[in-house]
Amino acid sequence: MEQGGNLEVAEKVAPRHRRPQRVSTPMIVGLAVVVALVACGLTIALTSGGESDGNNTAKPKPSVSIDPDNPLSGKTFYVNPQNPAAQNYRQLKNAGNTADAEQLNKIASRPIAEWLASDDGQTTERVTALAAEADKAGQTAVMTVYFVPDRDCGQYSSGGAADAASYKTYIDEISTGLTGHDAVIVLEPDAIAHTLDGCITDEGQIKERLGLLTYALTTLKKNPEVRVYVDAGNASWIKDLDRMVAALKQVGVNQADGFALNVSNFETTDASVDYGNQLSDALEGEHFVIDTSRNGNGPYTETTDDQKWCNPPGRALGTPPTSDTGIPKVDAFLWVKQPGDSDGACRDGEPAAGQWWPEYALSLAKAST
């Protein structure tokens, strides 16, 4: 992947149990008010960020968002206590480095997508375990499917399935693992954009790739509680909107829940919303999600080289993940990219794509509020 990404799904973690909570009289009254307002056709959005306990296990505060047009409305996303940031946080805290631990907790306490990007023969089991852990936490898992053949055009995150048949089997295994669970899927970052930017030029390969995306979309959507957003690049990439719209239609974006923007990139939220609205208008109002994981300071503009997207300095964490964006057609701000994972070994001494890089993670956290 040109922008890099996590290359492994987190290992299965021990279940967490929650105590039953009594509902107080004021809470009952509050719920009655919400119901009354819904009956009147009003929209309510009440959100707050999550907290972290001593074990860095997220304790999300209640989120109520009543928006019938947003399929993610009211959802809180899964915070995996075993993600690299959480593990690093505990290491720092145990070592007495409370200052850096506090900074890193800005990442560790947030929901971040798990990348399905390799096949070890345990795909169904891994997906089931992840979705089940999210269920037990009362949350929704976010996953990024990143396994299309010849992904990233042989660049830093090259790889993917060996062939079309292997890819379809992989998708089938993911779909089986999601049976009975809800989830949000970001489908194949860069896959469409690379068929439009000259990276993939063979017409047969382009046709096969778009067909595989259609297969993935329709297969995953057989699960009624799974929401799928097809990747559509970012605001500075494919400027010819007509070509992107045509490719999205060919894939069958109308069968999805929408499209995804800015995955692993740094474009501002405003720029992403503008770009997304233009695509949406041409797609009969399709909704979209935006990766805000590292766009707090926007894109790196102090260089003209083609590496400005790869581990650029001076970037910051963006808006925390939420399904209550306050923006029509924007179903969620997500952290699709794991902040702190390298985009690739694009300069001397930089880690390989998808490798956890504590120093870069801290720089992102310290630059954010």
Catalytically annotated residue among 67, 100, 150, 190:
190
The answer to whether 53 is a known catalytic residue is no
Catalytically annotated residue among 67, 100, 150, 152:
152
User: What letter would DSSP give residue 253?
Assistant: G
Partnered with residue 48 across adjacent β-strands are none
For residue 60, give the 3-state DSSP assignment: strand
- How far apart CA 238 and CA 265 sit, in angstroms, is 14
DSSP H helices, 241-288, are 241-251, 269-282
User: What letter would DSSP give residue 152?
Assistant: G
For residue 254, give the 3-state DSSP assignment: helix
Contact 182, 226 (CB under 8 A): yes
- How far apart CA 317 and CA 103 sit, in angstroms, is 11
- How far apart CA 281 and CA 260 sit, in angstroms, is 15
The answer to whether 190 is a known catalytic residue is yes
The answer to whether 343 is a known catalytic residue is yes
For 274, the token pair is: 């503008």
Residue 141 host element (H or E): strand 141-145
User: What is the SS3 string spanning 14-29?
Assistant: CCCCCCCCCCCHHHHH
- How far apart CA 303 and CA 365 sit, in angstroms, is 22
- How far apart CA 30 and CA 35 sit, in angstroms, is 9
Q: How many helices and strands in the chain, by DSSP H and E?
A: 9, 11
Active site residue ranges: 152, 190, 343
